A and B are shown apart, each in its own frame.
Chain A
């Protein structure tokens, strides 16, 4: 039964892995048991959730409040389009 008990280091590693793919059931149970018992690891789990959420969030226009009037100038748009044309041509010719 002692094999079911994992420490914080093992929990952290398993937690990271389980956020990328499914893990074997017994490892998941070990993780859950540790999660219930360890407030520090619960804290770290929440930290990683915050980081993931902040990275994945694509803000809507409202979240970019105060920037409604900020836009690329016509010259900037033309310049970028011209660079994109060249890049696309160079790619096609390869």
Chain B
């Protein structure tokens, strides 16, 4: 079952279609599938068997897609986590209340995937997070690792992981509001 060459026969086309739906270019989609499968072989020890192999491979593919957008983006992403911390703090006034009223998102969570524009902006915003924040966020939300597993893997403390995940989530929702809802709300 865990013969990597079989992965190509069993999941290759599904992964390819998934990648193609996000990047829209056949050669890039093929490269991303290959990169994801190579990464999966290298990290196979990390596969805990809690999800199916297919789900695990797609989680790795999603990370490769974010990396692709990060490389493709001409915008300089800041790796300065403190800058993000300041931006997150600036969401609130001195009494700790929202400075800007959050928008209502009309997207149905269960159908979010089908909303092409929503997913495009989500991937773009993820690729603009500092690498370290995006890494921890993807381990938690794509691979669904527990925070204790993430801490072991990244050699960070639990409280550090909560702070980083909080900042990643707040920055991500801000970015989504600016880039998606400006045109849709």
Binding site for B on A (CB under 8 A): 7-10, 12-13, 16-17, 20-21, 40-41, 43-44, 46-59, 61, 63-64, 67, 70-72, 76-77, 79-81, 83-85, 87-88, 91
Q: With an 8 A cutoff between CB atoms, is B60 at the interface? A: no
A contact residues around B87 at 8 Å (CB): none
The answer to whether B169 and A72 touch across the interface, beta carbons within 8 angstroms, is no
* Given contact pairs A9-B96, A20-B162, A80 touches B12 in the complex (Cβ within 8 A): yes
Shortest Cβ distance from A14 into B: residue? B166
The answer to whether B176 and A91 touch across the interface, beta carbons within 8 angstroms, is no
The answer to whether B162 and A17 touch across the interface, beta carbons within 8 angstroms, is yes
* Given contact pairs A16-B165, A63-B113, A9 touches B92 in the complex (Cβ within 8 A): yes
Binding site for A on B (CB under 8 A): 4-5, 7-9, 12-14, 16-18, 20-21, 26, 30, 33-34, 37-38, 41-42, 54-55, 58, 62, 91-92, 95-98, 101-105, 107, 109-110, 112-114, 118-119, 122, 140-142, 144, 146-147, 161-162, 165-166, 169-170, 172-173, 176-177
Shortest Cβ distance from A57 into B: residue? B113
Jot down 9 A-B pairs with beta carbons below 8 A, ordered by A. Answer: A13-B166, A20-B140, A40-B97, A54-B118, A57-B112, A57-B113, A67-B21, A72-B8, A72-B30
A56 to B104, CA, bound (A): 21
The answer to whether A58 and B58 touch across the interface, beta carbons within 8 angstroms, is yes
Query: Which single member of A13, A20, A50 contacts B107 (CB below 8 Å)?
Result: A50
The answer to whether B103 and A80 touch across the interface, beta carbons within 8 angstroms, is no
Lowest 10 A-B CB distances belong to which pairs?
Answer: A7-B96, A53-B109, A54-B112, A9-B96, A55-B141, A16-B166, A43-B102, A9-B92, A67-B17, A71-B13
Query: Which single member of A13, A17, A61, A84 contacts B5 (CB below 8 Å)?
Result: A84
A81 to B33, CA, bound (A): 11
B contact residues around A91 at 8 Å (CB): 41-42
A contact residues around B12 at 8 Å (CB): 72, 77, 80
